[in-house]
Structure formats: C-alpha cells, structure tokens
Structure 1
Amino acid sequence: MKKTMLLGALMLVAAAGYAQESRQDASVSVMGVFAPQVNGNAVQLNATNTAGVLASYRYMLTPHSALELNYSYAQNSYAFRTSFLPNGRVAARQQEITGAYIYNFRSIKNFNPFLEAGVGGMIFTPIRNTGTNLFDTKQNTNVGALFGGGVAYELSPSFDIRAEYRGFVVKAPDFGLTNFKTNRYEVISLPAVGVAYHF
C-alpha cells in the first residue's frame, strides 16, 4: 500500500512538472503587408499596402530551438503598367503557408527575443470584382524564403504578447499573364503584433 501511494505521489509530481513546461504555443496576430515596386521586362508592378491576419503554431524542441508553422491571409490590389496598358489592375487574395526554425535568445526579464528563418509558399488568387480589369488571370503559387525576428513579452506562464518583423522573398506574381512577367523577386514585409497562448 505504501509503495502504491509513493508511486502515485511521484506520478503526480512528474505530471505537475510536465504541465508547467509549456512546449507548444498558438498565436494570432494582426499583420501589415508592404510590397515594393517591382520593375522588369518593361513592366512595372505596384501593390497596395494592406492589413491581414497571421496564425502560427510553435513547438519547442529545446529551450532555445523551436519549429513553427504559419498561415496568413490578406487582400490587396496589384497595378501593372506597360507601354501598351498603362493601368492593368488585379484584386487578389494573398495567402502564406510557411514552416520556420526559431532560435530563442536568453530571456531578459519578461522579454524573449527570437530570430526565424524558413521556407514556404505565397498563393496569389485573383478576385473577380470591380477592382480587377484583367480577366484572363490565374492563381500563382510562388515558393519563397521567410526570415525575421521579434520579441515576446511574457504576461503570464500561459500568455505573451508577440511583436515581430517578417520578410518573405518571393517571385513577383504575374497571374499567368505572359505580358506582365517581371521575372523579378521582391521582399514582402509582413510585420505582425499578436497574442500567443502556451500549452
């Protein structure tokens, strides 16, 4: 009986210790989307600045290393300018699906700085509405690289506020229109601020 009680007590202590060690978190953030002007092949491409939503799941491998999965969604408008068409417009959905490695630095009080790098895809899907005057468009799925860094401020063992700069290097979309291929890469800036829940 004493052995059973001792074993039960040890299991409770181990379970409590495991429960306190949060190895996973999920976060939701508001992000900005800022794309530069792209010029190439006598085509100029401008995208509107907009806001979107970012959802992330992070799994801690060690106290300093983690793996992260990201999904983001935004809508914006792309303006193509060429010698034969000075005002071609495509309204589009922009979706990101990426995986990244996270390196966490040593905490400074409640501040936890980190860096991230990864790969994934950016999906550009045209929307048929009044913001579009090019109707032969097709969805682009372009593979690119994610990089960035930020800081998490710990509110409690379960919650933190996360602010980060994220950049995504990707080929500029052409929406399947040969005359609008810039054949250039761009860095889309995706700064984000949100809340993470640790479990």
Structure 2
Amino acid sequence: MKKTMLLCALLMSAFAAHAQESRQDVSISATGTFSPTIHGATGTYTNTDTSLGALVSYRYLLTPRSGLEANYSFTQNTPRYVVPGTSDNNVHLRQQEFSGAYVYTMTFKRYNPFVEGGVGAMFFSPIKDFQTTQLDVKRTTVLGGLFGAGVAYELSPSFDIRAEYRGFLGKTPNLGHEAFTTNRYRVLSMPTLGIAYHF
C-alpha cells in the first residue's frame, strides 16, 4: 500500500512538473471574417460577405509572460466591387493568412488574458467558378499588421479554451484589376474561438 501511494505521489509530482515546464502550445480555432465597406476616391467601392474559416496557431513561451506565435488561417468569401458606370463585379476567392506575432499574457487563476501584435501576409486567390463574374483578376498578396486580444480559460494543465479578437490592417486588394483600385487601407476583423494543447 505504501509503495502504491509513493508511486502515485511521484506520478502526480512529475505531471505537475511537466505542466509547469510546458512552454509550447498548438491551437485550432473556428474564425469569422468581417470586412468593412471601402470607398475609393474615384467612386469605386467594395464590400465582402461574412465568412467562416479556420485558424491554426503555434505559440512558444520565451518567459512565463512573453511568447512568439505563428499563424495560418483559411477562409473563402466573395468580395463585390462596384465601379461607376458598370455592373457589380463579384470575385469568389480563397483568403489565406501567414503571420507571426509577439504575445504578452497574464495569469488570474484559470484565466489567462493576452494581447498580441505582429506582421503577416494575406493571399487572395480568385476562384474562376460560377460565383465569379469578373474573370480578369489575379492572385494578390497584401502585407500588413496583425493585432489582437483575448483570453484563455484553463481546462487542465494540458488544455485550454481560447477566445480572441484578431485584426489585420492592410491595403484593400484590387486583385490585379486597375478599375478595382481604391487606394484605401482596411481592417479585417477576425474573431476566433478554439482549443489549445500545451506540451
């Protein structure tokens, strides 16, 4: 009996030590993408339907409060470009994000609020299908800044639920079509909800 109790105590202490030493996590989240209507100086404007997608993140803690994060997100949506004197132009596209950020986090019992800021690239790749009415478009890359704030709720030493508001500031893409140019910047709002695994 004593041996069993000693073995249990050793396992629990080893598990606790492992939990304290966890400096990495991976998370997967559902994300929404909301884009404002953008008006250009020439009268051209664009808006995009709301879409759902996925976000995968890897975070490495440099200290208990500071970390670095790498992100990849994916969604599909259909922006609409309205050019004066023409009909509406819809472009069905894939939107992909690759970004990196610095993360600062705090701990309040099971709650871990955090803020982040970094840089990234958005890739807008047209899909030439029946939803696309303007075929003279090309893949466009937009460089920009990432910022966000959220909170993680610890379910166990290995798992937490993570909710966050993420924003991406970048130039509104014209998809290689001069008439779609607005010369305006916009913030894509991307709220997320997901689960993280610490190891």
Specify if TM > 0.5.
yes
1:131-157 CA-partner distances (Å, limit 9, x unpaired)? 101111100100000001000000000
1:17 is displaced (CA, Å) by: 3.7
**4+ aligned runs moved over 3 Å, structure 1:** 13-20
SS in 2 for 1:179: helix
For the 8 Å contact 1:80–1:86, the answer to whether it is kept is no
**Residue aligning to 2:60:** 59
Uncovered stretches (5+) of structure 2, i.e. residues with no partner: 1-12
CA shift, 1:85, in A, is 1.7
CA contact (8 A) 1:34 1:190 kept: yes
Shift, 1:109, TM fit: 1.7
**For the residues of structure 1 that align with 2:82 and 2:18, how far apart are their CA atoms?**
58
Q: Distance in 1 between matches of 2:194 and 2:38?
A: 30
Contact 1:161 1:194 in 2 (8 A): yes
Distance 1:16 1:157, change over 3 A: closer
Cα distance in 1 for residues equivalent to 2:105 and 2:79 = 36
Pair 1:32 & 2:32 matched = yes
Provide TM-score, normalisation by structure 2.
Answer: 0.90
TM-score normalised to structure 1 length: 0.90
Q: Could you tell me whether the CA contact under 8 Å between 1:27 and 1:55 is conserved in 2?
A: yes
Residues paired across the two proteins, number = 186
Residue of structure 2 in register with 1:89 after alignment: 90
**Deviations 1:86-135, CA, capped at 9 Å, x for gaps:** 31110000000000000002x11200000000001010000011110111
Report the equivalent of 1:9: none
1:79 offset after TM fit, Å? 0.5
Which residue of structure 2 aligns with residue 43 of structure 1? 44
What percent identity do the matched residue pairs reach? 52
Q: Are the aligned partners of 1:67 and 1:99 in contact in 2 as well (CA < 8 Å)?
A: yes
| Partner amino acid, structure 2, of 1:166 | R
Distance in 2 between residues matched to 1:191 and 1:20, nearest whole Å: 29
Q: Secondary structure at the match of 2:138?
A: coil
Match of 1:5 in 2: none
Residues 38, 113 of structure 1: CA spacing in aligned structure 2 closer, same or farther, 3 A cutoff?
same
Is residue 22 from structure 1 mapped to residue 7 from structure 2 by the alignment?
Answer: no
CA drift at 1:173: 1.1
Matched AA of 2:178: T
Corresponding residue for 1:76? 77
Q: Secondary structure at the match of 2:182?
A: coil
Structure-1 residue corresponding to 2:166: 166
In 2, the alpha carbon distance for the partners of 1:94 and 1:43 equals: 22
Contact 1:101 1:116 in 2 (8 A): yes
